[in-house]
Chain A
Amino acid sequence: MKKSKSVLLSTPYILWMLLFTLIPLGVMGYYALTDPDTGGFTLNNLRDLGLFLPTLGTSVWYSVISAGICLLLGYPVAYFIAHRSAVTQKILYMLVMLPMCMSFLLRTLAWVGLLETNGIINILLGKVGIGSVEIIGTSGAVILGMVYNYLPYMILPLYAVIVKIDNRLIEAAEDLGCNGTQVFARVVLPLSMPGILSGITMVFVPAVSTFYISQKLGGAETMLIGDVIEKQFKTSNNPNMGAALSLLLMLMVLVCTGIMNRFGGEDEEGGVVV
């Protein structure tokens, strides 16, 4: 009785989400199948997608590398934080959170200042006598930007999982004859798997669709799928092609996260909570 009534509370939400998430995706599909000039049905946009597959490949490749680096860097940090005292944990957690609240545009811009040919790093290197290195405009700079921007998204879920690992499990493993490495490989790592997966997803998804980082830190050769989509909308005025590309990007991300979920096994509702 009371249940059935309160269920009604979800109706506006369901309508809202249908209206503003599913239907827009439908509209996107509609655009992808129409001609930009005539407005009639066409498969041309889909056909032309083939042209951008290498770009998509590059984006995926960069994002995978970034997610990998984030994991390698983020795991020890998360592990370190999770094994501090409660107060230190809070402080460090906050310090990881803080950059996420600040404008990522400006923070990326700061990297431009750091990495430029005549940027801060090269000035410093010059003073030390090493001479300047060309970083900006390379794929390395783009990946660096991705790692920098999305590293907190890796650390936080990892921390959340690692901190919950019961210390007695580690003791039990030691008791059963595992050395340090074995404890890590057989107990800690498998138990932190949900955090690893959600961290990878949270780095991969924004990285694969970024256009700002590649615009600022990348060069002529580091055009990513996000750039192409942005261009279709903001300069080429070809929303139809842009919609088709977005569709492709979305499906690709869906498949990737789907594979992740498969690996993860159990799906908890709302595993994405930071």
Chain B
Amino acid sequence: MKKTNRILTVVIFAFLYIPMLVLVVASFNTGKDLTVFEGFTFDQYKALFQDEDLLTLLGNSLLISILSTAIATAFGTLSAVGIHNLNPKLRKTVMGLTNIPMTNPDIVTGISLSLLFVFVGSTLLQQKESLNFWTLLIAHITFNLPYVILNVMPKLKQMNPALQDAAMDLGCTPVQSFFKVTIHEIMPGIVSGAIMAFTMSLDDFVISYFVSGNGFLTLPVEIYSYTKKPMQPRVYAMFTLLFLLIFVLMVTMNLLQLRADRKKTVKQAKSVTAGQKVFRRVCAGVCAAAIVLGCGWLIVSTRQDKITLNVMNWGQNIADGSDGTMDIIAAFEEAYPDIDVNYTTYDSNESLYAKLAGGGLTVDLIIPSDYMIARLRQENMLLPLNFDNIPNYKFVQEEFKNTDYDPNNEYSVPYTWGTVGILYNSKYVDEADVTGWELLWNEKYKGKILQFDNSRDAFGVAQFLSGISINTTNENELKQVSKKLAEQNPLVRQYVMDQIYGIMEGENAWIAPYYAGDCMMMMDANPDLRFYLPQEQGFNLFIDAMCIPTCSENKEAAEKFINFLCQPEISGANMDYICYASPIEGARDYMDEYLAESEVIYPEQSILDKGVSYLYLPPEINRLMDNLFLEVRISGNQPEETEEEGSALPVILTLAGLGAAAIFLFLPKRKRK
């Protein structure tokens, strides 16, 4: 029994630590992949300390968690004293309130707060950026408070109430007695509450994910978007350093505590509290310094005279200086030193739309695809461009002007264009099977097939296969298409967007529909990958174009950026990285030859003629497609097909039942007393 326990414990610790070990090892890897160790290097650490963005994010995270912890600790401690003195009935109610964020799933807390902030900020106050630093701070304080309260309350309860009386008896006012006596008694609770609050706050992803806008992001939120893209190994380096830091902190804290405990047991010891005192002072000093630094940093960073240009682009859709390409943003910032680019990404047109429509953001420049531009334009979410600021528009090729989505060339400047085809791994996929879109429905490759994780593109694939127009608004046709997708669901390994890189390059899946340029990048990384364009069935031909949404606050800066990207040499250099075709005249000349000549990027005109563009669809059709796609996604859980339209009644009854049960379970608790 005891021996098995010991073995099990060792195994469990291995289970807990091996994944972290994997990350630590990866931080010394010359390669990018987690799974293959190519060689030992410290370069990732060097890269980390040169990566200003990453360091800023880390700073943001620390700032938020330190500030929210400090505020929550002070606020929570005082509140705990108040709650402690409430009459028992009221105290129970308040503690119930305190338990709400503790027992609610994080996702519910995050969503409800973000809805509140957006509702109050955008709807009631007409604020542009209703999700910002302050809302994030409020959210963190809100979920930190219960940790402080729940740690301090028991200490208050344990405390001999006569101590406060004694202090007052000896001349302390209630306030003095709190600071001279009470606070010392409840200090352990305050400290452990603060530590818990800090770690929870630092590592919080879910709540921050819903509550933060694009102006102020914390590290975990950004890491989430990283984990969709191929991860930069420098993140592993940061993980390793943080791990070491926390490890050292924890060990020192425990050692100090241990030493203090030991001294306490020795009766004669003179200044037994010295160790603790030093520790407390150090803690207080560190906290104070951090707060001062944080506030200072905040003031400095908000005081900057620089204009912040908020750019939102697809993942992997701008040259970032890696692999010897040009760092476009750095080049732009160098050309316009008064502009500071805040670059964030989205992974599908739909998620971009959700971000914009959800409100709470300030975005100055977006690069959606054709049909989404039409939708945004239709819904008055775009600003007309001032072409006086974009003289380089003259370089845009004629065939990309007067398009369906922007017939009068008012709202958009094209950025890239490309096709959607099938990416497959020739090592595993029989060339004979590569005949068209039906490859994605081939039972032979069950579990090795990927599919788009956005409704329009996924529907598009099925529509080409079924011979239905990709711009249909016929409800029955759409339902037919969604059935086709549901048929495919059991074969699909995963629905992906940016995550496709790791999966395809690592040969964990073999077949996927995707955008040609991205396919090109993956083919670069894994030479077994091939691209196939089903000419006969048809394929999507798309244009991504730069637009300025109505929530922009720096339209002029955004236009400067558009103009900058329209320079042929810049566009060409950019395409070198993102592997798409440029709509800019002359850009092709600046591209790497093998890219410029690639059939994947620049197919022959005869092939191109068979491409079809997505057009604007009315909102109810978009909504229908979204819902149908979601049904496809959850069809794995569905026990059987239930086609009938349910009435609201049973669900409402269920909800009411659940609610009543909850109330019944929580309120009447009169067992003893």
Contacts and interface: CB of A to CB of B under 8 A. Distances in A.
Direct contact of A and B (CB under 8 A): yes
Interface of A: 2-3, 5-14, 16-18, 20-25, 27-28, 30-31, 36-37, 43-44, 46-52, 54-55, 57-58, 73-74, 76-77, 79-81, 87, 90-92, 94-114, 116-120, 123, 134, 136-137, 148, 151-152, 180, 201, 205-206, 208-209, 211-212, 216, 218-223, 226-231, 233-239, 242-243, 246-255, 257-259, 261-262, 265-267, 269-270, 272-274
A112 B105 contact: no
11 contacts: A8-B82, A13-B78, A31-B115, A47-B647, A113-B33, A114-B19, A134-B447, A209-B206, A234-B351, A247-B655, A273-B151
A272 B148 CA distance: 12
A28 to B, nearest CB: 4
B100 A21 contact: yes
Contact of B103 (A7, A27, A254): A254
A118 B35 contact: yes
B107 A226 contact: yes
A180 B1 contact: yes
Contact of A230 (B78, B79, B107, B115): B107
B508 A116 contact: yes
Nearest to B359: A239
A18 B97 contact: yes
A114 B105 CA distance: 28
Contact of A12 (B79, B97, B451): B79
B662 A76 contact: no
Nearest to B95: A269
A27 B203 contact: no
Given A13-B83, A239-B115, A255-B665, A209 B634 contact: no
Nearest to A57: B637
Interface in B115-153: 115-116, 119, 138-139, 141-142, 145, 149-151, 153
A161 B493 CA distance: 43
Contacts of B508: 116-119, 136
Contacts of A123: 35
Contact of A91 (B94, B254, B647): B254
Given A23-B116, A28-B112, A231-B630, A76 B23 contact: no
A87 B255 CA distance: 10
Contact of A148 (B19, B109, B142, B636): B19
The winner among A20, A96, A106, A136 for most chain B CB atoms within 10 A is: A106
A7 B86 contact: yes
Contact of A24 (B112, B353, B502): B112
Given A76-B9, A233-B114, 13 more contacts: A13-B79, A18-B97, A31-B119, A98-B247, A99-B17, A106-B236, A221-B489, A234-B355, A235-B626, A257-B103, A269-B150, A272-B103, A274-B196
Given A20-B142, A23-B116, A9 B254 contact: no
Interface of B: 1, 4-6, 8-9, 12-13, 15-20, 22-23, 26, 33-35, 75-76, 78-79, 81-83, 85-86, 92, 94-95, 97-109, 111-116, 119, 138-139, 141-142, 145, 149-151, 153-154, 168, 174, 196, 199, 202-203, 205-206, 210, 219-220, 223-224, 227, 231, 235-236, 239, 242-243, 246-247, 250-251, 254, 257-258, 348, 350-351, 353-355, 357-358, 447, 451, 453-455, 489-490, 492-495, 502, 506-509, 619-620, 623, 626-627, 630-631, 633-634, 636-639, 646-648, 650-652, 655, 658-659, 661-662, 664-666, 669, 671
Contacts of B92: 269
B246 A102 contact: yes
Contacts of B655: 46, 49, 247-248, 251
Contacts of B153: 269-270
Nearest to A107: B19
Tell me what chain B mostly uses at the interface: helix, strand, loop, or mixed. Answer: helix
Nearest to B37: A120
A3 B12 CA distance: 49
A54 B637 contact: yes
A208 B108 CA distance: 12
B102 A272 contact: yes
Contacts of B35: 113, 116, 118-120, 123
Given A105-B220, A137-B447, A46 B648 contact: yes
Nearest to B235: A106
B637 A55 contact: yes
Going nearest first, the 8 A-B pairs with the smallest beta carbon separation are: A258-B665, A10-B82, A9-B82, A113-B34, A221-B636, A209-B105, A13-B79, A24-B112
A7 B115 contact: no
A20 B114 CA distance: 10
B9 A80 contact: yes
B229 to A, nearest CB: 12
Contact of A151 (B12, B97, B105, B636): B12
A242 B650 CA distance: 19
Given A14-B97, A107-B20, A117 B8 contact: no
B145 A16 contact: yes
Given A36-B623, A55-B634, A99-B20, A212 B205 contact: yes
Contacts of A118: 35, 506-508
Q: Which of B23, B76, B257 has most A Cβ within 10 Å?
A: B23
A48 B231 CA distance: 37
Nearest to A95: B13
B482 to A, nearest CB: 13
B123 to A, nearest CB: 10
B657 to A, nearest CB: 9
Contacts of B94: 10, 13-14, 17
A247 to B, nearest CB: 7
Contact of B174 (A6, A103, A267): A6
A119 B331 CA distance: 38
A235 B348 contact: yes
B34 A112 contact: yes
A220 B629 CA distance: 12
Contact of B203 (A54, A102, A234): A102
B493 A137 contact: yes
A100 B195 CA distance: 12
B651 A97 contact: no
Nearest to B236: A106
Contacts of B20: 99, 102, 107, 110
A104 B203 contact: yes
Given A81-B9, A119-B35, A103 B239 contact: yes
A101 B199 contact: yes
B492 A220 contact: yes
Given A99-B16, A105-B205, A73 B8 contact: yes
Given A46-B652, A103-B239, A273-B150, A114 B18 contact: yes
A98 B258 CA distance: 18
B154 A270 contact: yes
Contact of A219 (B78, B251, B492): B492
A273 B94 CA distance: 17
A106 B239 contact: yes
Nearest to B164: A2
